[in-house]
């Protein structure tokens, strides 16, 4: 069973980053690491880094659609650090609830609340 053992988020100038460390095998080439960000009104923004068939993609998804962004991530055997331009994340950077999600073959397999790192 795959589980998230540690995660965090950082806002530094023009960059918003999240990191996820997991325990367990990802027995596939199709995996996604994301931060689901929610406000008090139920609005949601997702910051996503995915690897599928050897290709990496990164995007921000919200109610008004999906914006692809250049891939900016460091992926290792059991952890990933993903960076996004703050301008694309917008006001969601200040929203209170951040949740790390690990998906394998299109199915969420683990999630954990993301604390703010100082």
Question: Tens of pLDDT along 10-37?
Answer: 999 999 999 999 998 887 779 999 999 9
- At residue 14, the pLDDT reads 95
Q: Which two tokens stand for residue 113?
A: 């609340």
pTM of the predicted model over 0.75:
yes
CA separation, residue 40 to residues 14, 47, 51, 95 (Å)? 24, 18, 31, 8
- Whether the pLDDT of residue 118 is over 70: the answer is no
| pLDDT band (50, 70, 90) for residue 116 | confident
Token pair 């692809």 is at which residue? 68
**Distance between CA 41 and CA 33 in Å, rounded?**
24
35-50 b/e (C-beta count within 10 Å ≥ 16 → b): bbbbeeeeebbbbbbb
Of 73, 74, 75, 79, residue with least CA distance to 23: 79
Residues 58 and 2: their CA atoms lie apart, in Å, by 22
Q: Are 9 and 20 in contact (CB under 8 A)?
A: no
Q: 1 falls in which pLDDT band (50, 70, 90)?
A: confident
CATH number for the segment(s) 3-113: 2.60.40
pLDDT of amino acid 7: 97
Q: Cβ of 102: how many Cβ atoms within 10 Å?
A: 22
Condensed to tens digits (0 to 9), the pLDDT of residues 45-93 reads: 999 999 998 899 999 999 999 999 999 999 998 999 999 999 999 999 9
């Amino acid at each position: 069973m795959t589980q998230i053992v540690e995660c965090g988020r950082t806002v530094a100038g023009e960059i918003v980053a999240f990191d996820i460390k997991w325990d367990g095998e990802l027995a596939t080439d199709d995996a996604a690491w994301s931060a689901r960000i929610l406000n008090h009104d139920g609005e949601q923004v997702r910051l996503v880094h995915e690897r599928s068939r050897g290709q990496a993609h990164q995007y921000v998804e919200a109610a008004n659609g999906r914006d692809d962004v250049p891939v900016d991530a460091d992926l290792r055997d059991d952890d990933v650090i993903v960076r996004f331009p703050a301008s694309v994340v917008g006001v969601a950077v200040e929203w209170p609830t951040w949740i790390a999600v690990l998906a394998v073959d299109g199915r969420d397999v683990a999630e954990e609340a993301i604390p703010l790192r100082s």
